[in-house]
């Protein structure tokens, strides 16, 4: 973040870095309060935060095969971080955009919003719901001059992406996915 801030400021622009835990409503309010203390109107909001959990729906193998396995706390954490925090942050910052008559909201989704992946019930669901929330934002805020869009990148090897795709359980799926990519890399 510091390096990005320096690059932005080297171009003569202003950049503020605000870090907080967005998995809770209190954390989102903290971010919104800090941002609104800097300016009552933010013209661009990029929601590029998220988390994941290897959350199976049912136990896969062994004596408890097919038994209920969903970790409700892990599921709720993913939904709160990837979806609820976005909606809450937009609801806090959109009034300034509305007052200005312009703004842009960019929500970073995922290709997992469009297809199922084993042990990804929480992540895939959160990103599919984020896409729908973005559509509602566009419908409600568009007439007020605010654009709302979601982008859905494929595999991005952040720490979270590496943890998933470099796991032994994903070896076959990773090989198959890489074959479908012209550059043969994520």
Cα–Cα distance measured from residue 10 to residue 125, given in angstroms and rounded to the nearest whole number: 39
Tell me which H or E stretch contains 29.
helix 25-38
Chain-centroid distance of CA 90 in Å reads 13
- Which of these, 73, 173, 78, lies nearest to 125 by C-alpha position? 78
Question: Active-site positions?
Answer: 123, 127
Q: Would you state the structure tokens that stand for residue 82, as one six-digit string?
A: 């990837």
The residue behind tokens 């568009």 is: 142
| Alpha-carbon distance values, 104 to 36, 115, 132, 149, 169 (Å) | 16, 27, 17, 8, 39
């Amino acid at each position: 973040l510091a390096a990005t801030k320096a690059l932005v400021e080297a171009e003569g622009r202003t950049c503020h870095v605000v870090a907080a835990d967005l998995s809770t409503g209190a954390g989102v309010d903290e971010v919104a309060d800090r941002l609104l203390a800097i300016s009552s109107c933010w013209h661009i909001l990029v929601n590029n935060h998220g988390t994941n959990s290897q959350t199976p729906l049912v136990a896969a193998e062994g004596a408890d095969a097919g038994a209920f396995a969903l970790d409700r706390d892990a599921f709720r954490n993913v939904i709160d971080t990837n979806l609820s925090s976005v909606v809450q942050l937009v609801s806090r910052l959109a009034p300034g955009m509305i007052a200005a008559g312009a703004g842009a909201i960019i929500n970073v989704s995922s290709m997992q919003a469009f297809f199922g992946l084993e042990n990804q019930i929480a992540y895939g669901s959160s990103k599919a719901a984020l896409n729908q929330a973005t559509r509602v934002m566009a419908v409600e805020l568009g007439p007020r001059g605010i654009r709302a869009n979601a982008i859905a990148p494929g595999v991005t090897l952040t720490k979270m992406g590496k943890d998933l795709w470099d796991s032994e359980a994903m070896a076959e799926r990773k090989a198959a996915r890489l074959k479908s990519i012209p550059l043969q890399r994520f």
